[in-house]
Amino acid sequence: MAKINPLFSEELSKYGALDFNACYNCGNCTAVCSLSTAEDSFPREMVRLSVLGLENDIKSSLKPWLCYYCGECSTTCPQNADPGNLMMSLRRYLTASYDWTGLSKKSYTSKLWEIGLIGLISMAILFIFIFFHGEMTTELTNEGGVKLNTFAPWQIIEIIDWSVAGFLSIFLLSNVVNMYFKIVRSRKDIKIPLKLYFTEFYILIIHFITQWNFSKCDSERLPFKTKVKNGNYTYWLIHFLLMSSYIILFIMIVGFLEWFQTDSIHPWYYPQRILGYYSTIGLLIGIIYFSVLRFKNETEKSKKTHFTDWTFLILLFLTAITGILVHFFRVNGMPLPTYYTYVIHLMILFPMLIIEVPFSKWSHLAYRPFALYFSNIINAAKKINKI
């Protein structure tokens, strides 16, 4: 017998869910959803499970991750139950349920914890630089730039980068494994052949790189004329631009710091600078676009913005701006502004990486493609088992 949690509505409200109990199970939300399929239909089922408090059924479901929140279900709901917002809240709830450390739950349900963790990590970075920084030389390079590596040698920063990358990988991947056991391994009704994990693996790669399902959402009216018949390609493009910019910077900082953090001033067309400009422009376009959505508050997906959504955008914006200033001060031979801004930049960057990637908003970029991968495996196994 399924276990009912009578306090589940109260628990979900901590993650942003508000109106779903108004649902009278008409099924209109599933009928209008462009991503709902016969094999994986939603959001009606998830609303019903939430109303009934069937917590374990929700934890073993992939369907909240298959929703890309276009807002059509909430727009057309006759009871204003806001199923789109519920699906978003369930994704936050599931992120917390996969996380064995408990930090995701603390971050999503408490502003004090969110701000406190950011402040704690920032202060740790500041402490490191106060006591362990290199020489703050005013001597410039032959090209007239600042010798940043005398103040923060890339070899030492790279060690910190790799340590943080290892930290992020351990926690995020362990949470994905937890997700796998809760959803795939918990299935007792089907036997999954080993070969399916290999034949369906391309789904994970494609959707991790592209997040293509964002383009399949039939979207309501968005700014900048983004409405496209049978899809929302502008929204996907901007999301892809933001994501790819972030990933490029992450790869250059973690894997190629000697090449990226150089004292040499290369011409504007040098690959290092082109990738840096692409990433900076991509971040700023994405931040401005998604901030405008939330400030205008005209679309369903922006009407009930969670405080962690703003935290993520603010940290990303400050990271981009301080990165731009470091580059400007460095290439124009301004030593002290370069050093101080570099420290501030890392005081913002590291909390964003450590909190957002494994425990909060950015983890969704991993859970969504894995959910599609697991869903394909399960559906393929059902056909083999003739279920």
pLDDT at 218: 61
Average pLDDT, integer, range 6-19? 92
Closest CA to 44 of 14, 74, 12, 9: 74
Q: Name the percent of the chain lying above pLDDT 70.
A: 95
Q: Which of 105-109, 200-204, 216-220, 331-335 has the lowest mean pLDDT?
A: 216-220
pLDDT at 196: 96
Closest CA to 61 of 80, 73, 48, 77: 48
Q: Which of 34-38, 167-171, 302-306, 341-345 has the lowest mean pLDDT?
A: 302-306
Please report, for residues 105, 229, 230, 237, 238, the alpha-carbon distance to residue 210 in angstroms, rounded to integers and kept in the order given. Answer: 28, 20, 18, 9, 11
What is the Cα–Cα distance from 76 to 27, expressed in whole angstroms?
11
What are the DSSP calls for 64-102, one per residue? HHH----SHHHHH-TT---HHHHHHHHHHHHHHHH-TTS
What is the Cα–Cα distance from 163 to 160, expressed in whole angstroms?
5
What is the Cα–Cα distance from 63 to 79, expressed in whole angstroms?
22
Average model confidence (pLDDT) across the chain: 90
> 235 pLDDT exceeds 90?
no
Q: Which of 63-67, 245-249, 374-378 has the lowest mean pLDDT?
A: 245-249
Token pair of 148, please? Answer: 């940043």
Residue 149 class from Cβ within 10 Å (0-12 exposed, 13-18 middle, 19+ buried)? middle
Q: Where do the DSSP E strands lie in 115-205? A: none
What is the Cα–Cα distance from 35 to 152, expressed in whole angstroms?
48
Q: Name the percent of the chain lying above pLDDT 90.
A: 72
What 3-state class would DSSP assign to 146? Answer: strand
- For residue 279, name the pLDDT band (cuts at 50, 70, 90): very high
Average pLDDT, integer, range 35-44? 90
Q: Where do the DSSP E strands lie in the chain? A: none
Give phi and psi for 215, each to the nearest 5: -80, -15
Using one digit for the tens of pLDDT, what is the confidence trace for 114-160? 999 999 999 999 999 999 899 999 999 988 999 999 999 999 999 99
> 224 pLDDT exceeds 60?
no
Average pLDDT, integer, range 338-345? 97
> 228 pLDDT exceeds 50?
no
Closest CA to 186 of 277, 89, 97: 97
Closest CA to 124 of 172, 160, 171: 160
- For residue 304, name the pLDDT band (cuts at 50, 70, 90): confident
> 260 pLDDT exceeds 80?
yes
What is the Cα–Cα distance from 373 to 358, expressed in whole angstroms?
19
- 235-244: long-range contacts, CB 8 A cutoff, minimum separation 24: 236/211, 236/212, 238/285, 238/286, 238/289, 238/290, 239/211, 239/214, 239/286, 240/210, 240/211, 240/214, 241/282, 241/285, 241/286, 242/282, 242/283, 242/285, 242/286, 242/287, 242/290, 243/211, 243/365, 244/282
Token pair of 113, please? Answer: 């914890």
Closest CA to 78 of 114, 42, 31: 31
What 3-state class would DSSP assign to 307? Answer: helix
pLDDT at 232: 65
Q: What are 146's strand-pairing partners?
A: 140
pLDDT at 230: 43
**Maximum Cα interatomic distance, the chain, rounded to a whole number of Å:** 75
pLDDT at 2: 67
pLDDT at 216: 82
For tokens 């490191």, the residue is 128
Output 39 or 227, whichever has higher pLDDT. Answer: 39
The whole model's pTM is what? 0.90
Output 13 or 215, whichever has higher pLDDT. Answer: 13
For tokens 């018949």, the residue is 229
pLDDT at 386: 77
pLDDT at 226: 44
Token pair of 157, please? Answer: 């920063």
- For residue 227, name the pLDDT band (cuts at 50, 70, 90): very low
> 197 pLDDT exceeds 70?
yes
Closest CA to 45 of 27, 19, 18: 27
> 347 pLDDT exceeds 50?
yes
- For residue 219, name the pLDDT band (cuts at 50, 70, 90): low
